[in-house]
Amino acid sequence: MQFLYSGLTGGSIYALVALGFNIIYNTTGLINFAQGEFVMLGGMMIYTFFAVLGMPFPAAFPLAIITALVMGLLFERVFINLVRVKSEINLITVTIAASILLRDFAMHIWGRDTVTVGEFMPVKSIELPGGIISNQSVMVIAVGAGIAFILHLFLKRSKYGRAMRACFDDMTAAGICGINAVMVRVMSFGVAAAVGAAAGVLISPITFVTYDDGVMIGLKGFAAAILGGLGSFWGAVAGGLLLGLLESFAATVMPSGYKDAIAFVVILLILFVKPAGLFGKRMAKRV
């Protein structure tokens, strides 16, 4: 049971990162390989506002999220919008280049060393059947579930969420129907950056923060999205939780140094056996 509790904590973070991938994919059809950098920036922002400037957490948290949201909007305007030929390969290449630039930017601002954020609340251990869990981990799981639920309502019930889905189905037709496709695309990058930053804030007291954290967490979030089915909202949540559990239980049968390899084994197995993911729909193309 102890491994279950640990896996749910890590899986909640992977689920949020995977949701960030899906938000942009479901709007533009693009995979943003810079998504992990917004997780890192969320951690760095909460470090700046909470640990350095001494702001209370209830104020520092939303400020970190809003800052990441603005950076996500600028990301689309600076890196995506200026690409003249917006082919899939060109845009993916731009997101990889942008991730390197963001990482270098973070290194020059916050340095190469790991920074310590500190606890958001006094740490207490909670006894559960078969093990214990800290209140910090409970907060990660609860807030992660809350963000996923609010995001689900936003995408399903709000007109902006419906506009995002319409743009994914057919951007030209959505434009003819009066949807501002450019605005929707920009907003999707902002929302995805905010969700990624929320994951970075939540995990920062547990794993600390380094300027290059975005690489590994981004790849694991991508693996979770692939596992659940790229484009599937609840598939991303399930994929993240399942990946976290796989990592946790794998520690019982193999050295902990192989933990990070689990995500890549998952990517390979899914692509070999079920390319659409566990909950994804098979895509059909008209020829």
pTM of the model: 0.86
pLDDT of residue 67: 94
SS3 (DSSP) at 211: coil
Mean of the per-residue pLDDT values of the chain: 84
Determine the Cα–Cα distance for residues 85 and 171; give it in Å rounded to an integer: 16
Q: Give the pLDDT confidence score for residue 38 in this predicted structure.
A: 92
Token pair for residue 124?
């207490």
Task: Transcribe 223-286 into DSSP letters.
Answer: HHHHHH-TT-HHHHHHHHHHHHHHHHHHTTTS-GGGTTHHHHHHHHHHHHH-TT-SSPPPP---
Q: Which residue has the tokens 């600028």?
A: 74
For residue 79, the model assigns a pLDDT of 86
Distance, in Å, from the CA atom of 244 to the CA atom of 233, rounded to the nearest integer, reads: 17
pLDDT at 69 over 90: yes
Contacts of 123 (CB under 8 A, 6+ apart): 134, 135, 136
**pLDDT tens per residue across span 224-249:** 888 888 878 888 888 888 888 888 88
Alpha-carbon distance of 12 to 36, in angstroms, equals: 15
pLDDT, average across residues 158-183: 78
- DSSP 8-state code for residue 132: E
Which strand (E) or helix (H) includes residue 125?
strand 125-128
Q: Rounded distance, CA 228 to CA 276, Å?
A: 8
Residue with tokens 């049971």: 1
Q: Residue 118 burial (CB < 10 Å; 0-12/13-18/19+)?
A: exposed
pLDDT value, residue 284: 56
Q: Is the pLDDT of residue 18 over 70?
A: yes
Question: If you compute the radius of gyration of the chain from its CA atoms, what whole number of angstroms results?
Answer: 19
Q: How confident is the model at residue 158 (pLDDT cuts 50, 70, 90)?
A: confident
Token pair of 53 as six digits: 């400037």
**pLDDT digits 0-9 by tens, 26-43:** 887 888 888 889 999 999
Position 81 scores a pLDDT of: 83
Whether 233 and 240 have beta carbons less than 8 Å apart is answered as no
pLDDT of 286 > 70? The answer is no
Least confident of 55-59, 79-83, 173-177, 184-188: 173-177
pLDDT value of residue 60: 93
Kindly indicate the confidence band of residue 63, based on its pLDDT and cuts at 50, 70 and 90. very high
CA distance 140 to 203: 7
274 — alpha (psi -120 to 50), left (phi > 0) or beta?
A: beta
Predicted confidence (pLDDT) at residue 169 exceeds the cutoff of 80: no
Q: In this predicted model, which residue has the larger pLDDT, 113 or 172?
A: 113
- Would you say residue 287 has pLDDT above 60? no
Arithmetic mean of pLDDT, 100-126:
86
What count of Cα atoms within 13 Å lies in the side-chain half-sphere of residue 278? 19
Side chain identity at residue 245, one-letter code: L
> What is the CATH number that goes with domain 1-273?
1.10.3470
249-270 burial by CB neighbour count: b if 16+ within 10 A, else e?
ebeeeeeeeeeeebbeebbeeb
pLDDT of 281 reads 66
Alpha helices in the chain (DSSP H): 2-28, 35-46, 57-75, 88-110, 135-157, 159-169, 171-176, 181-207, 213-228, 233-250, 261-273
Do 227 and 277 touch, CB atoms closer than 8 A? Answer: yes
